[in-house]
Chain A
Amino acid sequence: MRSPRIPTFMLRRVLPAEVREEVLRDLDDRYEDLCRWGGRWAASRWYWAQALRAVGPAAKDRMPRHTRTPVARRTRERLESVVGDITLAFRAFWRSPGIIAVAVISLALGIGANTAIFSVVDTFMFRPLSFTEPERLVHVYATLPERGWNYNEVSIANFVDFREQSRTTDIAASYARDFNLSSGDGPERINGERASWNYFRVLGVQPVHGRTFTADEEQRGQHHVAIVSNGLWRRRFGAAPSLVGQTVQLDGEQYTVVGILPPTFRWYGSNTEIWTPFGLAGDESRGSNVLKPIGRLRPDATLEQANTELSGIARRLEGAYPESNRGWGAGVQGLHGLIFPEQFETGSLILTVAVAFVLLITCANVANLMLTRVVRRGREIALRRALGAGRGRIVRQLLTEAMIVSVFGGVVGVVGAYIAVPVLAGLLPGTLPRVEDIGVDGRVLSFALVVTLLTGVLVGIAPVFHSSRSNITDALREGGRSAVGVRGVGLRKLLVVSEVTLAMTLLVASVLLVKAFWRVQTMDYGWGRENVLTFRVSLPEAQYESGETVTGFYRELLSRLASDPAALAVSGTTIPPLQGNTNTFFGVPGRETPSIQQRPLTEFRFVFPGYFETMGIPVLRGRGLGDQDRPTTQPVVVINEILADRYWPGESPVGRQVRFWGETREIVGVVRNTLDVRHYAEPMMFMSAFQYPRRDMGLLIRTVGEPSSAVELARATVADLAATLPIYDVRTMEEAISERWGGETVVAKIMGCLAVVALLLAVAGVYGVISYMVSQRIREMGIRMALGAERVTVLRMVLRQGATLTVTGVAIGILIASFVTRSLSFFLLGVNPYDLTTFGTVALALCVAGVAGAYLPARRATKADPLDVLRAE
């Protein structure tokens, strides 16, 4: 017969080693005897009792009884009194298990939510990047102070000068350049980058096979070498180390693989699988800013030194190349700022504050619950004080109770966070950097611990405050029943008002964010969003060298796609809406060249004829782009309304000219404004992709039915024309919309959830306080009604109290909210932060909810039977 497992385990843990085996042997023998004589059940019970009884003596044995030093004795006494406090607390909890359960659950919710949000915020904002010595890595950027531009991209030519001249920083860079990989099985579009030769050296990455680039390989002609990611190496090349030294075909050209990266290397928010060197020819433009260089501070250099040095270099470049570099400065910031730009900081801040609000509301609620207990235990506490327990002792007791409740809440909350964090991480768009790192780890747990302890203090303060003011003799004289004066109500009212205030603020902010989320999902983009499929094709330069071959290919592709009955219309653009942007400065001939702040700037796209028809964009004046626009004819552009209004206000721009990239172009038409990557319309210029052939195009098919049904059509048609040509970035317009706003709207989604929780908690708070007041004044109500007061009067009286609390909270909340919402503007995507409808609706809703919370206790008050109440006297 085996003795029960749990108590045996317990005994093994607590017993001192010298007696452990003996005691267990003895207990096991007796257990067997008892089983035989008294049955298994009785034996188990006895065994459990023995195990529990062993704890005391064993603990005493560990803590020597006769300690000699006074310090040790004092510590021991203190420890004993803490243990005493805890025991007392548990005993007190047993008397009101309901209240304690509610308190623990609320706190679990609050602490859990904070822990979950922190796990995300920590990953984005605080955890060090996973590179060698990440604190020495920096982002090098260009600035154009006159236009207020900061953290701007750097041109390749300027980058080369920065790298050569800097003594404080080793600077490197890369830019996206995807490839068609056509060795192995079938063509595949691979995310690629062209990098400076020292890119991996600066990042501190050692290849697992082969080497990184050499300085020579950065020069054009010698740049046909490649480094592949560990993932690509496994996926496409069977993880064969012999890949190093072999050639692969990228865009139809031969590249020799020189290195394979370790599996741990990745750049946050990108999934680049192949890198080739820049291939510099020395004639790179200074005006085309395409690089986001990174750097590693040299051992003795600081960020400030690097900053000063780079501004100095930028000034020298300005002097040497005034036409391209005039006004441009440079600077460095920590690399973190490049990977997680400002909106991450703002988003993290918003969510942290919101979730802290929820916790504060929870704390206020729980503090209220604890207050109720203290008031009920008023006599017990007074008695203990009368028997000589000092004020400090009582305070400690109450704080201990609060702490225990909070620790329980924290434990449950952390368990909840373990479940919630993966869900939360799944809610975030996978394109955000580092999403895959989000999880509950030691840092998150320490945070949860700190929050739990703080919560304990917050929850404990109110009862302490209350009890240290209460008067012993009064409490004893009242004989456990409260007199007419309701005690501790001021404090409770304060708590509830702050709850409503916090909820109001949170609700307003959330409703505004949800409104913004809704707006970008449903707004009129100016183009038809239904039934459009987009995909990209990229013609390799080696096979499609001349403009005619490129145009020939796309003409054929477009006509084949259009002939399919599933396609209503087909066209193409360099960048389909919401999938990126490019802009350029331009001039207007005949007008003075304005200063750099006022130089006209516009978005531009190259589109195929029929683009406006396919996208459903009306041409307002002149004509769209058509087949007549060819490389040999007059260069033409079509502009949008906003550009027309800005530079030709009140007149028709058709027939006017603009000048950029060394060519004068005629405006042939004006189209209606459309929205692109931003939530507001911007100046936009369209040029013909047949006049200026581009190898890299995004194609659009407006389908008869479900757009995703055209994917096969697209794939087959392209494969038919060029067997080794992959299509990629396949998505519908609807998908593009949710992808574009994924990061911003996730904030709205989380805020929406938090706001609902806050609303419920605030209503629960109002309910709690009003029902407490009613229970304390039930005699008064009874007497009132005995003296002839109408039930309605009593009802109204109680409801009025609820309403007063709520309205006060709402009023203060409106004030605070109007300060808070301004800071949300980045995420509001054009929604007015002082939107009156939102403020009004939320305020009204909260007032109604508050009164509703008071309704139940009010009904109870009217049910007070005068006779019952008087009989109780």
Chain B
Amino acid sequence: MGKGEYLGEFEQIVLLSLARLRSEASGRRIYDELVDVTGREISVAAVYITLARLAKKGYVRSSLGEPEGAGGKPLKYFSLEPAGARALRESHDQWQRLWRGAQFHPELKAK
């Protein structure tokens, strides 16, 4: 991870879904997973664009799977690269360190 570079929120979400899906991580599986887990409306385009960006940074590797059906184009599958795993871990640690010292006023405490 380069100096001063950190993962954006959406990038983290996408990387985490990769870690959860392992070998089944095609673009559309990732989208479904994210919609299911986060319950948010998510942009299909954003998923692909983010994946492409992460691949460029060397965090993610893509490979072509079996063509689906006759004449169908093969789906692209994505998996975590060591650098990606490291970045994800580092982000997680960062957050943990920050959380550790956090104190909340009683009124603000979540139910």
* B-binding residues in A (CB < 8 A): 11, 15-16, 18-19, 22-23, 25-27, 29-30, 49-50, 53-54, 56-58, 61, 65-66
Contacts and interface: CB of A to CB of B under 8 A. Distances in A.
B100 to A, nearest CB: 28
B44 A30 contact: yes
A26 B44 contact: yes
B14 to A, nearest CB: 12
A57 B44 contact: no
**What does DSSP make chain A's interface, helix, strand, loop or mixed?**
helix
Interface in B68-84: 73, 76
A61 B27 CA distance: 18
A26 B29 CA distance: 11
B53 interface: yes
- Among all A-B residue pairs, the 9 with the closest Cβ atoms: A54-B45, A53-B43, A57-B46, A19-B48, A23-B48, A57-B49, A23-B45, A61-B49, A19-B52
Contacts of A26: 27-28, 31, 44, 48
Given A23-B45, A57-B46, 5 more contacts: A16-B52, A26-B48, A54-B43, A65-B8, A66-B4
Contact of B49 (A16, A25, A30, A66): A16
A53 B45 contact: yes
B91 interface: no
Nearest to B55: A18
B66 interface: no
17 contacts: A15-B45, A15-B49, A16-B49, A19-B45, A19-B48, A19-B51, A23-B45, A23-B49, A26-B27, A26-B44, A27-B45, A30-B28, A50-B44, A54-B44, A57-B49, A58-B45, A66-B4
Interface centre among B8, B31, B52, B73 (most CB of A within 10 A): B52
B9 interface: no
Given A26-B28, A26-B31, A66-B4, A61 B44 contact: no
B33 to A, nearest CB: 14
A57 B4 contact: no
Contacts of B31: 26
B107 interface: no
Given A54-B46, A57-B49, A25 B41 contact: no
A22 B76 contact: yes
A65 B2 CA distance: 14
Contacts of A65: 8
B5 interface: yes
Given A16-B52, A22-B76, A57 B43 contact: yes
Contacts of A56: 43, 46
Contacts of A29: 28
Contacts of A30: 28, 44
Contacts, number: 56
Most buried by B among A30, A57, A61, A66: A57
A239 B51 CA distance: 67
Nearest to B2: A66
Contacts of A11: 45
B8 to A, nearest CB: 8
A29 B50 CA distance: 20
A53 B52 CA distance: 17
Q: Which of A16, A22, A26, A29 is most buried by chain B, counting CB atoms within 10 A of its CB?
A: A22
A674 B53 CA distance: 88
B46 A49 contact: no
A593 to B, nearest CB: 95
A15 B43 CA distance: 12
Contacts of A57: 43, 45-46, 49-50
A58 B41 CA distance: 17
A19 B46 CA distance: 10
Contacts of B4: 66
Contacts of B76: 22
A40 B5 CA distance: 43
Contacts of A66: 4-5
A27 B49 CA distance: 14
Given A26-B44, A50-B43, A50-B44, A58 B27 contact: no
Interface string B32-60: 00000000010111101111110000000
B12 to A, nearest CB: 15
Contacts of A16: 49, 52
Interface string B1-35: 00011001000000000000000000110010000
A146 to B, nearest CB: 83
Contacts of A15: 45, 49
A422 to B, nearest CB: 44
